[in-house]
Amino acid sequence: MKTNVGIEKSGRRPFGALFKSTTREWSLINRIIKNKASYVLIAPYFILFFVFTVLPVAMSMTLSFTSFNVLEPPKFIGWGNYIRLFLNDDIFRIAIKNTLIFAVITGPISYLMCLLFAWIINEFKGKIRAFITLIFYAPSISGNAYVVWNLILRGDKYGILNGILLRLDLIDNAIIWMKTEKYVLMFLIIVQLWLSLGTGFLTFIAGLQTIDKTLYESAAIDGIKNRWQELWHITLPSMKPQLLFGAVMQITQSFAVADISVNLAGNPSVNYAGTTIVTHLMDYGSIRYEMGYASAIATVLFILMVGSNKAVQRLLRKVGT
Amino acid sequence: MEKVCRDKKCHKKPVKSRRALNRSMAGNVTLFVFMGICGVFMAIPLIFVASNAFKPLDELFRYPPRLFPRNPSLDNFADLRVLMSNSWVPFSRYILNTIIITGGGTLGHVMVASMAAYPLAKHDFPGKNILFGVVVLSLMFTWQVTQVPNYLIISKLGINNTYLAVILPAFSYGLGLYLMKQFMEQIPDSLIESARLDGASEYRIYRSVIMPNVKPAWLTLAVLQFQTMWGNTGSQFLRDEQLKPLQYALLQIVNSGPARQGAAAVVTLIIAVIPITFFVICQSSIIETMTTSGMKE
């Protein structure tokens, strides 16, 4: 909760103290030597991280300036991919529009849902608590079980939604939901919301458990009256690290939506109604083998996510104030 | 203690019973009803997944569809068993592969990521902000386009077509480091300081002060990573049939024809049930720690 205290402030005598007139370089080297233990602890992770994550990402970003079909060596074409992306690719424009609609709706709603449900679940105890957590978390953990929505949204009278609506005489003929332009995005959003109690949700639940319970007692003495005040003044500020983490996860999930669109609406979807930035990328990357172009799409998406993350983090800093 | 808190008496002496602080009865009832309704919405599609596995073929295509099977049968399970026994390599081999890949990837990631998260959360050393920043940024890059570079790197390292090609990259996923670091930040510095005064090494502190205090965090991470590893078919890096995991084999069975709808329903159920089971095990031990621990200065 407080600022980080480095090892250098602990009992050991700083190396640098031996040289009264240390230059900046010397003090840096001394600090590195002093923190040897820190580097040893992070080494295994970061060696693997650089090899398997940083290097591939750097390579992809470089590839975005080339024309690369996987078979022949990449050809450098400068900003060519980006120019084509923004000026000559109409579908990309649809993809950006869909992704933004999708992210702006599912992002905040999912995030608040994760927080709300985690907080409510924290009010329960023991077996009931475990059971409720399971019910809410199960959809996002059960692999591709969401394809069951294909049964619900089937286009013929065997579809469950059609079956119900036909029986209630709300519609005369079965509607081909996922092949009708105006419904596609809406159902994708519903399915996404159904799936949204995932990483963030679980993290919030764990975060709520680590809050020091005595804080609530002293707050009650200080005049906190109901659970809402308690939430805003104690609970949320105490779990700020988890809130920040949840926000990043939410952004990556909302912007990178693809699998549900491919599995429920197909790729390409009818009139590109379900096309998102990542399905567009998959279209070029794994179907047309234009890896350079796909990398350019990924880089644009990356910049979009980084930008929205900056904005969200700024918002979250206001929590509890 | 629980029962006492549920009734109204606790409001009169709030300091003694922690849980009932600032809680009204009406609020509790509203929450219960609300959670019930939402819970039904969440559960129905999954009930379909489960009940489909027990429906005979004619009921799978019934109109209007039913939530529960009228004549539940195990035919679909029997079908799947026949299909499984026809596979190229014995099915137990796929199970072994899954245990190695999922187990190794989960255990390794939790250990390696939390070890790196401790200094990032609690030490002050040159380069830590940059390193952490890069990890968070890496979460925002679409993995689909890094597949080709990844393949090149794994081939160069000579670990293509081995378990390591799937397990090693999993050690360094960004999610775990970020999650663990966020939780470790909340550990009071005084706790670490006093361990240091007792002469504990940094590794010792990590093992016996930090990790026990963030048990809910690493159990949560284990659940998330297990799910990721279980869903990994490894199809890109594992060419030999003997190395492929269960997930791959199961999906292979159901993708091969529409006549296998029944078996497919069972496969969907199995794929969902295994991570759910793992989650239930972890969740119960998270709740256990909740009652015994709590970070105290």
Residue range B155-181, pLDDT digits in tens: 999 998 899 999 999 998 999 999 999
pLDDT over 80 (residue A273): yes
Same domain? For B68 and B173 the reply is no
> Which residue would you say has higher pLDDT here, B104 or A235?
B104
Residue B297's pLDDT is what?
A: 41
Cβ–Cβ of B140/A4 closer than 8 Å? no
Tokens linked to A316:
């979250």
Q: Does residue B14 fall inside a structural domain? A: no
Q: Does residue B67 fall inside a structural domain? A: yes
* For residues A165-184, average pLDDT: 84
CA angle B122–B128–B129, rounded 5-degree value: 105
Tokens linked to A205:
């639940």
* For residues B41-57, average pLDDT: 85
Cβ–Cβ of A248/B178 closer than 8 Å? yes
pLDDT over 60 (residue A153): yes
Residue A226's pLDDT is what?
A: 77
pLDDT over 90 (residue B132): yes
What pLDDT, in 10s, does the model give residues A75-125? Answer: 999 899 999 999 989 999 999 999 999 999 999 999 999 999 998 888 887
> Which residue would you say has higher pLDDT here, B14 or A180?
A180
How far is B14 from chain A, CA to nearest CA, in Å?
Answer: 8
Tokens linked to B13:
């002496």
Whether residue A244 contacts residue A310, with contact meaning beta carbons closer than 8 Å, is answered with: no
Residue B264's pLDDT is what?
A: 84
> Which residue would you say has higher pLDDT here, B240 or B4?
B240
Query: Which of A305, A265, A248, A258 shows the shortest CA–CA distance to A281?
Result: A258
Query: Which of A191, A64, A100 shows the shortest CA–CA distance to B45?
Result: A191
> Which of B116, B146, B169 is closest, CB to CB, to A45?
B116
This prediction's pTM: 0.84
> Which of B124, B188, B286 is closest, CB to CB, to A209?
B286
pLDDT over 60 (residue A207): yes
Q: Does residue B7 fall inside a structural domain? A: no
Put simply, whether B287 touches A (Cβ < 8 Å) is: yes
Tell me which of B36, B62, B84 is where a domain ends: B84
Tell me which residue range forms the domain holding B76.
23-84
Q: Does residue B12 fall inside a structural domain? A: no
Report d(CA A63, CA A289) in Å as an integer: 13
Q: Does residue B9 fall inside a structural domain? A: no
Query: Which of B95, B228, B118 shows the shortest CA–CA distance to B166?
Result: B228
> Which of A41, A294, A309 is closest, CB to CB, to B206?
A41
The conformation of residue B54, written as its DSSP 8-state character, comes to: T
Work out the number of other CB atoms within 10 angstroms of the CB of residue A240: 18
Q: Does residue B15 fall inside a structural domain? A: no
Q: CA torsion angle for A297, A298, A304, A306 (degrees, to 10)?
A: -160
Tell me which of B39, B64, B84 is where a domain ends: B84
* For residues B202-227, average pLDDT: 91
Same domain? For B57 and B95 the reply is no
Same domain? For B92 and B78 the reply is no
- Sequence-distant (6+) residues with CB within 8 A of A92 are A85, A86, A277, A280, A297
In degrees rounded to 5, what are phi and psi of residue B264? -60, -40
Q: Tell me the CA distances in angstroms from B69 to A151, A254, B45, B180, B206, one per residue in order.
A: 15, 36, 14, 44, 52
Q: Contacts of residue B229 in chain A, CB cutoff 8 Å?
A: none
Reported confidence tier of residue B293, pLDDT bands at 50, 70, 90:
very low
Same domain? For B48 and B92 the reply is no
- Sequence-distant (6+) residues with CB within 8 A of B98 are B230, B245, B246, B247
Q: Contacts of residue A251 in chain B, CB cutoff 8 Å?
A: 140
Whether residue B264 contacts residue B254, with contact meaning beta carbons closer than 8 Å, is answered with: yes
Mean pLDDT of chain A: 84
Reported confidence tier of residue A6, pLDDT bands at 50, 70, 90:
very low
Reported confidence tier of residue B6, pLDDT bands at 50, 70, 90:
very low
Reported confidence tier of residue B17, pLDDT bands at 50, 70, 90:
very low
Please, what sign has the CA dihedral across residues A144, A149, A151, A154? Answer: negative
Q: Does residue B13 fall inside a structural domain? A: no
The listed range with the strongest mean pLDDT (A21-30, B68-77, B217-226) is B217-226
Report d(CA B171, CA B167) in Å as an integer: 7
> Which of B112, B124, B220 is closest, CB to CB, to A206?
B220
Residue B18's pLDDT is what?
A: 46
The listed range with the strongest mean pLDDT (A138-152, A255-269, B101-115, B206-220) is B101-115
**What percentage of chain B carries pLDDT values higher than 90?**
31
CB pairs under 8 A between A and B: 335
Same domain? For B29 and B103 the reply is no
How far is A182 from chain B, CA to nearest CA, in Å?
Answer: 23
Mean pLDDT of chain B: 83
Same domain? For B145 and B207 the reply is yes
Whether residue A237 contacts residue A208, with contact meaning beta carbons closer than 8 Å, is answered with: no
CATH code (residue B144): 1.10.3720.10
pLDDT over 70 (residue A278): yes
A166: closest chain B residue by CA: B64
Same domain? For B75 and B155 the reply is no
Residue A173's pLDDT is what?
A: 82
Same domain? For B77 and B145 the reply is no
pLDDT over 90 (residue A29): no
In degrees rounded to 5, what are phi and psi of residue A67? -105, 120
- Sequence-distant (6+) residues with CB within 8 A of A48 are B112, B168, B169, B171, B172
Tell me which of B38, B56, B84 is where a domain ends: B84
The total domain count for chain B is: 2
Which bin fits B127, alpha (ψ -120 to 50), beta or left (φ > 0)? left
pLDDT over 90 (residue A288): no
Same domain? For B259 and B116 the reply is yes
Same domain? For B62 and B145 the reply is no
Q: Does residue B4 fall inside a structural domain? A: no
Same domain? For B149 and B249 the reply is yes
Top residue of B22, B51, B134, B142 to mutate, by most chain A CBs within 10 Å, is B142
How far is B23 from chain A, CA to nearest CA, in Å?
Answer: 6
Tokens linked to A89:
């690719």
Work out the number of other CB atoms within 10 angstroms of the CB of residue B133: 10
> Which of B27, B137, B145 is closest, CB to CB, to A294?
B145
Report d(CA A20, CA B163) in Å as an integer: 53
Residue B267's pLDDT is what?
A: 87
Q: Contacts of residue A120 in chain B, CB cutoff 8 Å?
A: 31, 34-35
Same domain? For B91 and B128 the reply is yes
- Sequence-distant (6+) residues with CB within 8 A of A317 are none
Residue B64's pLDDT is what?
A: 64
